[in-house]
Structure 1
Amino acid sequence: MRIGIVGAGAIGGTVAALLDRAGHEVDVTARGEHLEAIRSRGLRLTGAWGEHVARVGAAEVLPEPPELALLAVKAQDAPAAAAAHADLLAGAPVVVVQNGLRGPQALREVLPASPLIGGLSMIAASYLEPGIVTVTAPGPTVLGADTASGAQLAAAAAVLGEAVPVVLTADLVGTQWAKLVVNQLNAAPALTGLSAQEALAVPALRRAVAGAMRETVRVGRAAGATFLGLPGLTPGRLRMLAGLPPAVSGRLLAARMVERMGAVPNPGSTLQSIRRGRPSEIDHLSGAVVEEGERLGVPTPLNRRIVALVHEVESTGRFLPAAEAAARILA
């Protein structure tokens, strides 16, 4: 099958390389040094799913209409990237692999002729060097229909399932909220410049992250979210997280999350953007919690401070010591 991937970053690049390895014809979009590296040396996959060099087509815009597309750019870049491909993608199912609460829902007007599917990736992958993506911890990709039919969802899942583990959810919004809880982990490496494992080894920062997750659960519950559909994170566990004291939930959080991450340092997607000098998606992670909290009347002081601190790191280029980051979040 001819598959187009808009955004060959950490997740998009990983899926592109694995689809190429599975025998599909893959085109990707990229820019600058990353684009030149893919054109000259191929897209190199390393890490938990083995080594592979994918000789994929690469350009700033997909060269021709695909039969299936993945849009895997950051949330803030998605509308423009979708608009640039709207004619090419007309009629083709589009899987929007994205963090945050909007995903495919935000692209309905931009891609009215494309059946839309939401994708939440639990793959931990890094893109820190042009032309190379590294899987630090394997995981499933959860798919849920937005405007796509059940048959279109099943067909897309069958194709992607040849490359990566796929799980289907009947509640896309509930799964988006569950993933948003997990994405609160991104703040710790983004603020400190450390791997998630190193940052979560600091007790005060564990408490701060656990507190941000508690706020996310409370806002999601006020919004009526089910938190269903994400493997390994059940509604019962989230209720427990929301009800335990921060010190206790912080310890449980660190033990479970670090275990799931494995031994390979995981920088998280927000820190990767900062290191590449690109705007991060923090406004669509902690910022989404703040926005929904304001709408629903649920206080979110920790998430509000996280947003401000990540923007401070972005603007100054100075990472914070873990203890300072925790103190300023918990102030």
Structure 2
Amino acid sequence: MLRTLDARHHRFGLNAPFRIARGVKTAADVVTVTVRQGSVVGRGEGVPYPRYGETIEDALSQIAQVAARIEAGASRDDLRTLLVPGAARNAVDCALWDLEARLAGTSVAALAGVAPPAPVASAITIAIDTPDAMAAVAARAAYVPLLKVKVDRTDAAMQIAAVRSAAPTPRMIVDPNESWTIAELERWQDLLVEHRVDLLEQPLPAGEDAVLAGFASRVPLCADESLHTSADLETLAGRYQYVNIKLDKTGGLTEALALADAAKARGFGLMVGCMVCSSLGIAPALLLAGEAAFVDLDGPLWLSEDRPGGVTDRNGVLAPPQPGFWGSAA
């Protein structure tokens, strides 16, 4: 039976500006893919990311160029040659996983051979603001298990200190989003230890992180922008101790699962992350969360309105979407 594919742009307003070192956003722009086979429908979502040269228009164009192949029955494995890793492939890949599970009357977790999604402690992100404003946000989240603190170059030390003072208990990830230099990383080692930072995510620009080879950081380093697929792992050894797997970088759940296995085999610890997205982008990523030491899947919590039936948060613990939302018929 032939399939039909539909891809379109959806915009979700945010409940507050999301500021990181490279800019600010007030809405989440996503590509939603629906693949229908008879009466069965699979869905997937991708977030084109300007940092990687992606736009909504380009993602929709990429999908349109391969739509006929998908409708004729191309598989998830075929996608690896049809589309490059990125948001467009992620949306299609996850839609095909969803469709396959529903057609088989099973779940994506069962098909992938992983544990079904379960409630998980997920980072609550504190976006860049003045140190006082960030401390106020941290105080309201002082008892969650994990915070992720976005920082810049100018006020990083004060931002970290302010958040830790307001929230002394949670584990903490600090994310400069490539904005630091190696000199700043060296200078702030004592600060990071003093404020009990558990993980430092991508402090240097991806193209300049070769200087991390042999650098004895006192806080574990995690590759984000430097990692897309399993092909990148070889160059990251000796520079980072953790890798942040995001489906919008890998090009979907298929490659993300392979990347997780390859990273563990090489001795990397795992973090699972996301873009600012709806729960449709988070549901597949939750299948990786059980293997991760750090989970950062709070993207939908920034939306003023999520897709119905999506994830819910209670004191920093993220519960999976309602049954039937994605990855199984019920």
Bin the TM-score by the shorter chain.
under 0.3
Structure with the higher helix share, 1 or 2: 1
Instruction: Identify the structure with bigger relative contact order (alpha carbons < 8 Å, sequence gap 6+).
Output: 2
TM-score (norm 1): 0.25
The structure whose residues are more often strand, as a share, is 2
Structure 2 length-normalised TM: 0.25
